[in-house]
Amino acid sequence: MEFITSMFYLFSSIFFIFLLHSLIKFFTSSRPKLPLPPGTLGWPYIGETFQLYSQNPNVFFASKVKRYGSIFKSHILGCPCVMISSPEAVKFVLVTRAHLFKPTFPASKERMLGKEAIFFNQGAYHAKLRKLVLRAFTPEGIKNKVSNIESIANDSLQSLEGRLVNTYQEMKTYTFNIALLSIFGEDGVLYREDLKRCYYILEKGYNSMPINLPGTLFNKSMKARKELAEIVAKILLSRRQMKKDHNDLLGSFMGDKEGLTDQQIADNIIGVIFAARDTTASVLTWIFKYLSENPSVLQAVTEEQEAIVRSKEECGEEKVLTWADTKKMPITSKVIQETLRVASILSFTFREAVEDVEYEGYLIPKGWKVLPLFRNIHHSPENFPDPEKFDPSRFEVAPKANTFIPFGNGTHSCPGNELAKLEISVLLHHLTTKYRWSVVGAQNGIQYGPFALPQNGLPIRLFLKKEATPTPKKLVPTV
């Protein structure tokens, strides 16, 4: 009798589980599937890459938002994407639900920078890397580098005197030298030319299609990347033999108690160079342009910087900048903020959905890239009235949450933002107190790919203030 009772309960349980499974399957299958966000995917594989990188990104994104709303799909650099352009959506992806979206880049960038780079990881490994990077780049870590940065800034500006130069290219050299100083210390000077040669080849392939065939940009870039890793390995070997502590990023990586592999160190060094160089150089180029177009703003910045010089003279102090001096530049700081907003050097960042995610009634499929559109948010009249106008005074009032995000947001925000602001402030101090410059040629054009820049990199001529600016030739009237 007990056996029969036991069998009854067993079969009853199995039947109940089967019935429950059938009901769940029925209601799940009968539930309507979530739609993808509206939008177009463009050509097969190529997608809409060329449309994005060949024109004003404002036009590309604004036309999409106008047609589809603040969330839409596209296809960029070989990846299906969902693009989002509201502060609420950006907070959802970068902060509140950040665990559902891992940091990523298109395949070409991932392979060039290296899969162990901080950009592509989450969890404990990412937290460990971020701690090591911040150790070198927090205010406490960089305040003792002000004099070195000042020396590089002075050398850079002196090399431009009286010449017709491409501002962007010159600022790339300036920021590259500071990146090497911050990463390698004195070793950066020793290997500077080899590092520069390899990196300049590597960067040309960042936005190329990942086609690794001889002769392609991607192939050349990957070869340069291999050589870069070999140079880093040489520096690592030399430091291990010397057994000396170094107060730079490489020293921070090597000093980690848990230990990073040489591959992990190389991937992160190359990644930091990528993050530290072109973006900051672009910001500086736009600052040259905006200051030349806004004399009253230039005058305010100049007076602020000259006040620092006078203060040192009156106190009998040495005429070198200190960390404390860089904290006495509120107007300059607002100019930097407004440039970051208007220029929006990073139009967007990349994330990847680690599982199917629902947002605002749409499906973001697992494996799709998600692009928070910083540029759209920075140029929205709802967030910044008259958004195309360059007006640093708007930052006298703190912007609304998640509307000003030039360095990203959340645990993956840029850990080097303090260093970037420092090197910009130091150069602006010497630029405005010692020099005047004039833009040569057309001043309204903009070029794209991948960053928005003034046409031709903003050609300028730079003169010491004590020198007379060349007088233009008088026009002889025709008879």
Annotated binding site for heme: 414
Task: Tell me which amino acid residue 369 is.
Answer: K
Token pair belonging to 277: 């160089």
Which residues, 6 or more positions from 443, have their beta carbon under 8 angstroms from its beta carbon? 289, 292, 293, 454, 455
Q: Cis peptide leading into 38, omega within 30 of 0?
A: no
Token pair belonging to 465: 């203030």
Question: What are the C-alpha distances in Å from 303 to residues 7, 258, 317, 428?
Answer: 92, 49, 19, 12
What SS3 state is found at 277? Answer: coil
* Residues tagged in the binding site annotation: 414
CB-based burial, 147-165: b 16+ in 10 Å, e otherwise: ebbbebbeebbeebeeeeb
- Helix (H) or strand (E) run with residue 166 in it: strand 164-166
* Beta bridge pairs of residue 103: 351
CA 117/CA 124 separation, integer angstroms: 14
Residue 382 phi, psi (nearest 5): -70, -30
CA 38/CA 87 separation, integer angstroms: 19
CA 388/CA 254 separation, integer angstroms: 45
Question: What are the C-alpha distances in Å from 413 to residues 94, 130, 182?
Answer: 9, 10, 19
CA 357/CA 71 separation, integer angstroms: 14
- The sheet carrying 369-372 orders its strands as 71-76, 79-84, 369-372, 351-353, 101-103
What SS3 state is found at 115? Answer: coil
Token pair belonging to 105: 């880049």
Q: Give start and end residues of each alpha helix (H) in 69-216.
A: 87-91, 107-113, 123-137, 139-142, 146-160, 167-184, 186-190, 192-203
